[in-house]
């Protein structure tokens, strides 16, 4: 892909694009921040605790930017905190003069017996995976509406379309994000703002190693041998990630770069699976799209498709 003046269907993007990324402390966030900066975009990589827990990653990104003379800065933003989000986004908009793209990438993945997760644990899952994107989208939309131009990218998961046992809490939060992003797609379609979804399959991203198990061990133990299945599943995925040929996480970053620089109309959903894997998500999306479009036409809202 060559860096050139791009347009989002009918609307012209300036170059370079100012891009805000959440969850830039690991996985897809780090890879995508580097890939976009290397292509000449003005990247703002956000994360929590950049002066402490994530200081090494901040230094890695800043060194990368300095060595390549790229436009990439790291700032603190906690997507679970209203004030943190509003303050950070307002500062970015003021400093850069615009925000062209918001990439909602921050996430956490609970894997365990669903019953064993307390309401507080479920709320913590949703705070990052669902309410976090809701906060950042609300924060950037006034700027994007004033521009008459913008792109929202929500990173969900194959678990945002299909449900695996013991991934119930995670899937619920990602299903909710899918609905939110799709609703924005329709409602913002007449304002020059696009909303799209990226659905990665099982790639190494840091989610698995940081996956919180339920605190209530008694409920997990009540499931007997079945209660041991979540750890066995995580071990299986980790073995794949540690193999001689692990899934290539850069595929996800490259798919996001392609979406951002795309000149023609973007698809609502982009599925990115490791080579040789097919979980049926693409087929599911095609069937749902047909039903969804028919519904909008019935409601005389086909202009939003």
Active site residue 184: no
161 secondary structure, DSSP code: T
Q: How far apart are CA 165 and CA 111, in angstroms?
A: 9
What are the structure tokens assigned to 224, written together? 């007997």
**Nearest 5°: CA angle at 42, between 155 and 50?**
70
Residue 79 vs residues 131, 133, 199: alpha-carbon distances, Å? 8, 7, 20
Residue 135, both tokens: 């906060």
Beta bridge partners of 195: 152
SS3 22: coil
User: In terms of DSSP bridges, do strands 7-8 and 11-12 run parallel, antiparallel, or are they unpaired?
Assistant: antiparallel
N-to-C CA span, the chain: 27
* From 170, 184, 223, 241, the catalytic residue: 170
Helix axes 132-147, 82-96, angle to 10 degrees: 30
Give the phi and the psi of residue 150 in degrees, each rounded to 5.
175, 165
Report, as residue numbers or ranges, the catalytic residues: 170
């Amino acid at each position: 892909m060559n860096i050139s003046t791009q347009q989002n269907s009918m609307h012209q993007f300036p170059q370079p694009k100012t891009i805000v990324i959440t969850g830039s402390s690991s996985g897809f966030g780090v890879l995508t921040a580097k890939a976009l900066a290397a292509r000449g975009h003005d990247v703002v990589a956000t994360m929590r605790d950049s002066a402490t827990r994530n200081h090494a990653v901040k230094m890695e990104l800043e060194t990368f930017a300095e060595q390549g003379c790229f436009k990439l800065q790291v700032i603190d933003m906690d997507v679970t905190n209203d004030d943190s989000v509003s303050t950070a986004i307002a500062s970015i908009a003021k400093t850069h003069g615009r925000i062209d793209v918001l990439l909602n990438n921050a996430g956490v993945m609970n894997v365990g017996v669903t019953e064993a997760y307390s309401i507080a644990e479920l709320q913590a899952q949703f705070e990052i995976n669902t309410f976090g994107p809701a906060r950042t989208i609300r924060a950037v939309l006034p700027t994007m509406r004033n521009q008459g131009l913008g792109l929202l990218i929500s990173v969900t998961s194959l678990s945002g379309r299909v449900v695996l046992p013991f991934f119930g809490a995670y899937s619920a939060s990602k299903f909710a994000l899918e609905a939110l992003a799709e609703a924005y797609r329709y409602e913002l379609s007449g304002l020059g703002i696009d909303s799209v979804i990226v659905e990665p399959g099982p790639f190494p991203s840091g989610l698995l190693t940081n996956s919180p198990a339920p605190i209530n061990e008694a409920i997990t133990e009540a499931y007997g041998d079945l209660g041991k299945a979540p750890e066995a599943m995580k071990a299986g995925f980790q073995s794949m990630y540690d193999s001689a040929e692990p899934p290539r996480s850069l595929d996800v970053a490259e798919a996001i770069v392609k979406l951002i620089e795309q000149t023609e109309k973007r698809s609502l959903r982009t599925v990115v699976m490791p080579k040789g894997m097919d979980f049926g998500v693409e087929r599911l999306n095609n069937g749902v799209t047909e039903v969804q479009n028919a519904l909008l036409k019935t409601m005389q809202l086909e202009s939003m498709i």
